[in-house]
Amino acid sequence: MDAFQELTPIIYRKNGIHFLHLRYGANEIPITAHWHNRIELLYITSGSLEVYLNDVHYTAESGETVIILPDTIHCASTGPNGAEYHVIAFDPEKFCNATIASDNYLLPLIQQKTWFYPITNHPEIENILKELICLSKNEGSCHPLTALGKIYELLGLFYQHCAVDISQIRKPDERFGAVLNYINIHYTEDISSKNLSEKFGYDEAYFCRRFKEATGTSPTKYIRYLRLEKAQQLLRTGRENIRDIALSCGFSDICYFSNCFKRQFGISPRTFQNLKE
């Protein structure tokens, strides 16, 4: 599981909360498989997300919130109409204090002894999320403690309306996790569902079915998406020519790369590269 740990640090505001507002087109993969020590909430405002938490599939529609607890391997893809959502993230350890309530309710979250059902549309929870988003946009005029209070209120509502028996929670498949880790490292190389299934001792048909259960997409599409994300990053930040970037990301056919890039991002590699100049 350690191979999936997110190592990129995120920036928390003075109130200890991280906010993001994201928008993606149809059938994209905004979240590749990883885990972290923070609690992450995805509040969907339009479209839908197909979310996978420890290999269990959930669909989150507009108006719903995804609750991702610490140490949960997760990934997500957008639905046929794309998705727009807010990310609200915080480290529960930073919110612990010398109170009985903290010992009884925050420590179990950190120690994975408490679990919440991961999809909710409870109106009280949605209202608190909207208030937090509003506070994030007017941070200069609001005291940081106001947002902290909202986080505690939110956690209380999770316990009231979303708590489930921890014994019901499915644990991640460690063996299959090694497959995803291998792909995340070697996606620029010549890999396919055939040689991946052979390498890890799976029947190819079962492997492809199991892969889609865990990620919501096929091995081929997952690998292609990782390659395109890397290519986009290099086009944005590097000075290499498009051919070299395509080859370094695992595309041997430049025309195919250009077609895939335009289909994924709605713009050609050349036009995208020129935008930063």
Q: What is the DSSP letter of 25?
A: -
Closest C-alpha among 225, 262, 226 to residue 242: 262
The pTM of the full predicted model, rounded to 2 decimals, is: 0.70
Q: Name the amino acid, one letter, at 261.
A: F
**Dihedral sign (CA 211, 214, 216, 220):** negative
Distance CA 215, CA 66 (A): 16
Q: Name the amino acid, one letter, at 174.
A: E
Instruction: Write down the pLDDT at residue 2.
Output: 46
Beta strand pairing call for 39-53 and 74-90: antiparallel
pLDDT means per 10 residues, the chain with 277 residues, are 53 83 90 86 97 88 95 88 95 89 89 89 96 85 83 95 72 70 88 91 89 81 88 83 93 93 85 75
Which residues lie across from 19 on neighbouring strands?
A: 88
Locate 46 and state its tokens.
């339009």
Number of Cβ within a 10 Å radius of residue 143 = 12
Q: Give the chain's domains with CATH numbers.
A: 2-168 (2.60.120.10), 174-275 (1.10.10.60)
Instruction: Write down the pLDDT at residue 238.
Output: 72
Residue 164 parent element (H or E): strand 163-164
Instruction: Write down the pLDDT at residue 263.
Output: 83
Locate 260 and state its tokens.
């895939």
Distance CA 178, CA 81 (A): 32
